[in-house]
Structure formats: structure tokens, C-alpha cells
């Protein structure tokens, strides 16, 4: 799988553990539905400590932190507050995570759903994202991911083997391709040879996917 190529009109990269991706899911699904298109959704599993340092919290208090300056902390706190208020506008709860999770399993789940039950993808995101951001899911436990699949009406038999075999291989083959191809975060959108980071580009994507008529819109977080 080439990170920039797809038969779909748009490739969307997301990571379950990203608050930015969390608040982008519903608007992007809405764009897909509005336009009557099927996007190619794929996982990008972020290596957060490599660029933001790492931290661990217990009972809301930071108990361990590595490689984070005060400015980095301030920016991270703002980012969470910002994502939270937009999540709340969507009727969702967003609690800061207490550690940096390994989201590989639920991200492989995206590949599983895309290949076995494409029409249930939205249901899968609803089964994983909101409870994870309410701190109700241990996404590192494969049985938890299997339960999410079943809750979304998706066959979970065979997922464990997929996550350990072909799915893992597909996931792992994507990851080293991102930086060399100009992709670094989520949500990222690939539209032909254009790459966009962030849901603020949804107005532009809608304009581009509907014929590029008139003036291109500026970046904006669309609000309902």
C-alpha cells in the first residue's frame, strides 16, 4: 500500500489516540456522506514521544515527564482544551489521557473494517473513539478491540490473526512511508498530490471534491 495512492478520491489518515483526529472523525464522515463518496481511511500510528516528549498522569497529576519544556506543556494544554470544546459541541466528552497509549491494535482495526465491513466504518469509530476519550477503553487489549468491532456490528473472528499477521504487516509497512512523503500527523488528507494536515481544510476539500467552482475557501473549523 503506497501512502499517497488510492482508487478513492481522498485518503484520510487517523489515529485513535489523537484528540485532533477524534474531533475530525464526525466532520469527515459527514463530508463523505454529503458528497456521496467513499474515502480511503487508513491508520497513522503517531510516535508522540519522538516529537512532544512523554508524560504520565495519575489521578489528573503529572507523575512523570520527559523532554517537555514549559512552552511545550502550555501548547499541549491549550490543544487539549481546544479539542475538548469542539468535542463538546459534537456532544462528545474528551478527557486527557493518563499515558501515551499504543494505539496500534485499534488502528489495525481500521484496516480490518475497511477490508471486511466498509459500510460499518462509522459505527466502528463510534464504538472506539468516544469511549476511549471517556477513558473507558484499554485499547492495548485485543479483546477490547474485538468487543468494539462486535458492538459496531462487525465480525471479529479472525481479527486477532489479522492483527498479528497481514493487518500488522500492512500497518507496519505504512508507517515508514509517512515522513518521506510529507505526512507527519493526523488527521491528514491526501487529495491527489495535495496533502493537508488538520480538519480546518475540510472546506477546501469539499470545494475541491465538488469541482473547484468559485473562490477556494479559507481554512475553518466548521461549526454546526
Partner 1 sequence: MLTVYIDFKSPAAYLAIKPTLDLASRLSLALTWRPFQTVERDVPKLGKEETVGESHRRVRSASQRALAIKYAGHQGIDLQFPLHPGETDLALAVLAELEGDRLPFVEAAFAAYWKDHADLNDPAIVQEIIAASGVVYTCDLNTAHESLGIALKQAEDAGIVGAPAYVIAEQIFVGREHLPWIEEIARAEAG
| Binding-site ranges for partner 1 (CB under 8 A) | 47, 50-51, 71, 74-75, 78, 82, 85, 178-179, 182-185, 194-198, 200-201, 215-216, 218-223
Cα 95 from Cα 221, distance rounded (Å): 21
The 3-state secondary structure of 143-169, one letter per residue: HHHHHHHHHCCCCCCCHHHHHHCHHHH
**In the complex, what is the shortest distance from the CB of residue 135 to partner 1, in angstroms, rounded to a whole number?**
25
**In the complex, what is the shortest distance from the CB of residue 174 to partner 1, in angstroms, rounded to a whole number?**
15
**In the complex, what is the shortest distance from the CB of residue 107 to partner 1, in angstroms, rounded to a whole number?**
17
**In the complex, what is the shortest distance from the CB of residue 50 to partner 1, in angstroms, rounded to a whole number?**
4
75/161 with CB nearer partner 1: 75
149/190 with CB nearer partner 1: 190
Cα 146 from Cα 132, distance rounded (Å): 14
36/70 with CB nearer partner 1: 70
Q: Which of 167, 146, 190, 195 is nearest to 45 (CA)?
A: 167
102/138 with CB nearer partner 1: 102
Task: Write out the three cell numbers for 53.
Answer: 516528549
By residue count, the chain amounts to: 224
Amino acid at each position: 500500500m503506497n501512502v499517497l495512492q488510492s482508487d478513492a478520491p481522498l485518503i484520510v489518515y487517523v489515529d485513535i489516540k489523537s484528540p485532533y483526529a477524534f474531533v475530525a472523525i464526525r466532520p469527515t464522515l459527514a463530508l463523505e456522506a454529503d458528497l456521496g463518496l467513499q474515502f480511503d481511511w487508513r491508520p497513522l500510528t503517531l510516535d508522540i514521544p519522538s516529537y512532544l516528549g512523554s508524560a504520565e498522569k495519575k489521578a489528573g497529576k503529572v507523575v512523570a515527564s520527559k523532554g517537555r519544556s514549559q512552552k511545550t506543556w502550555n501548547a499541549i494544554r491549550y490543544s487539549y482544551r481546544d479539542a475538548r470544546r469542539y468535542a463538546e459541541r459534537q456532544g462528545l466528552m474528551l478527557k486527557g489521557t493518563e499515558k501515551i497509549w499504543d494505539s496500534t491494535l485499534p488502528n489495525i482495526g481500521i484496516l480490518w473494517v475497511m477490508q471486511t465491513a466498509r459500510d460499518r466504518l462509522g459505527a466502528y469509530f463510534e464504538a472506539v473513539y468516544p469511549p476511549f476519550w471517556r477513558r473507558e477503553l484499554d485499547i492495548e487489549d485485543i479483546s477490547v478491540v474485538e468487543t468494539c468491532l462486535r458492538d459496531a456490528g462487525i465480525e471479529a473472528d479472525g481479527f486477532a490473526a489479522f492483527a498479528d499477521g497481514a493487518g500488522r504487516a500492512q500497518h507496519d509497512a505504512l508507517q515508514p512511508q509517512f515522513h518521506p512523503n510529507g505526512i507527519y500527523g493526523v488527521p491528514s488528507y491526501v487529495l491527489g498530490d495535495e496533502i493537508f494536515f488538520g480538519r480546518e481544510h475540510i472546506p477546501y476539500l469539499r470545494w475541491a471534491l465538488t469541482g473547484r467552482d468559485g473562490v477556494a475557501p479559507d481554512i475553518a473549523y466548521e461549526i454546526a
